[in-house]
């Protein structure tokens, strides 16, 4: 992990549970790696089994696009754009610093993995629509885990008042939190898709 955590250790017990701390702090590397990897790992491990389940079902060509489906995909696309912007910002910061520019850096690796996972959510949602699946527990758990985990960096940024030093990064993070919570809300309800007129589909 030393090759990844270039801004400090992955875990610092004195920082998290120190007697002089008024609140538990977590290292930047911990927030940029494990907190991103946990929900992403869940989705990448569960997706093959979910795909097998969906592929075994027949296509439901009479299903329309619904506002919930469109909203889910738009939110996923916006989150993906935020990840790309974060990668560009971190890459620019590394280029202007004396550090070696590499994707192994945790500041780049975190949004990169998150971005790839968002592409996977896009694929899962589209495949579920084509198969006529009105709800998916796999994606619901992914968005729920992501939302719960974001509590740690959220309160860390607030307590450290990072919005003064990194206004753009913090703003992007807060927007990402709101959109992620929106995904949890949308995935909490079954998508009652409307049947298209078969004559229109011909």
Residue 176 sits at the vertex; the CA angle it makes with 48 and 143, to the nearest 5 degrees, is 35
pLDDT digits (tens, 9 = 90+) for 155-182: 888 887 877 888 888 899 999 999 999 9
Tell me how far apart the alpha carbons of residues 76 and 85 are, in angstroms, rounded to a whole number. 14
> Residue 88 in 3-state DSSP?
helix
Asked if residue 17 is part of any domain, the answer here is no
Asked if residue 21 is part of any domain, the answer here is no
Asked if residue 117 is part of any domain, the answer here is yes
What are the structure tokens assigned to 43, written together?
């989705």
> Residue 44 in 3-state DSSP?
helix
- How many structural domains compose the chain? 1
Asked if residue 180 is part of any domain, the answer here is yes
Q: Write down the pLDDT at residue 181.
A: 95
What are the structure tokens assigned to 175, written together?
């927007």
Asked if residue 1 is part of any domain, the answer here is no
Asked if residue 22 is part of any domain, the answer here is no
pLDDT digits (tens, 9 = 90+) for 9-49: 676 666 666 667 677 777 777 888 888 889 999 999 999 99
Asked if residue 10 is part of any domain, the answer here is no
Give me the domain span that covers residue 40. Answer: 27-201
Query: How far separated are the first and last CA of the chain, in Å rounded?
Result: 56
What are the structure tokens assigned to 155, written together?
């309160």
What are the structure tokens assigned to 45, written together?
């491990």
Quote the radius of gyration of the chain (alpha carbons, Å): 20
Tell me how far apart the alpha carbons of residues 117 and 123 are, in angstroms, rounded to a whole number. 10
Asked if residue 101 is part of any domain, the answer here is yes
Percent of the chain whose predicted confidence (pLDDT) is above 90: 36
pLDDT digits (tens, 9 = 90+) for 108-124: 888 899 999 999 999 99
Nearest residue to 137 (alpha-carbon basis) of 53, 197, 73: 53
């Amino acid at each position: 992990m030393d090759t990844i955590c270039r801004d400090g250790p992955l875990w610092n017990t004195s920082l998290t549970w120190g007697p002089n701390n008024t609140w538990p702090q977590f290292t930047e590397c911990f927030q940029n790696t494990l907190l991103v990897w946990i929900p992403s790992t869940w989705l990448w491990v569960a997706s093959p089994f979910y795909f097998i389940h969906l592929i075994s079902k027949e296509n439901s060509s009479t299903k329309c696009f619904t506002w919930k489906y469109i909203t889910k995909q738009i939110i996923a696309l916006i989150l993906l754009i935020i990840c790309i912007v974060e990668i560009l910002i971190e890459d620019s910061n590394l280029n202007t610093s004396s550090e070696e520019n590499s994707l192994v850096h945790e500041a780049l690796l975190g949004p990169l993995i998150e971005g790839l996972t968002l592409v996977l959510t896009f694929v899962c949602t589209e495949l579920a629509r084509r198969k006529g699946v009105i709800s998916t527990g796999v994606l619901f758990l992914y968005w729920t885990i992501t939302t719960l985990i974001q509590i740690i960096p959220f309160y860390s940024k607030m307590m450290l008042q990072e919005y003064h030093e990194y206004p753009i990064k913090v703003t992007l993070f807060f927007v990402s939190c709101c959109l992620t919570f929106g995904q949890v809300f949308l995935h909490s309800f079954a998508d009652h898709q409307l049947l298209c007129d078969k004559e229109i589909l011909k």
